[in-house]
Amino acid sequence: MNWTSIIVIYPLFWVMCAFFVLPFGVRTHEEAGIAKVPGQSESAPARFEPRKIVFRTTVLSVILFGLFYTNYVNGWISTDDINIVGKLAGLR
């Protein structure tokens, strides 16, 4: 894999992991026992901690990208393994 491919693919993993990590550990003001500001949404987090989110996202994306890269190098799962359309066409 070229280094330019890594530069392009890793941010995709990072953003995907960020959306996965965002909802974990979030507590609303009601759950935390804190008074809400007038006009505030009931689902707004009591404390937004971007450093935790960035750290968790980075750790998860490094692990998942490492698995992706290892699979790319070793060829454990290829496109032929997940091509169900070609397998179904062969049954006819």
pLDDT tens digit sequence for 4-34? 999 999 999 999 999 999 999 889 888 998 9
| In the block, residue with structure tokens 């996202």 | 57
Q: Which amino acid is at 72?
A: Y
Whole-number pLDDT of residue 85: 77
Confidence (pTM):
0.78
DSSP 3-54: HHHHHHHHHHHHHHHHHHHTTTT--BHHHHT-PPPTT--TTSBSS--HHHHH
Exposure class string for 20-29: b at 16+ Cβ within 10 A, else e: ebeeeeeeeb
pLDDT score for 82: 83
Residue 92 confidence (pLDDT) above 60: no
Give the residue, 2 or 88, on which the prediction is more confident.
2
Interval 26-85: pLDDT, tens? 898 889 989 888 998 888 888 889 999 999 999 999 999 999 999 999 989 888 888 777
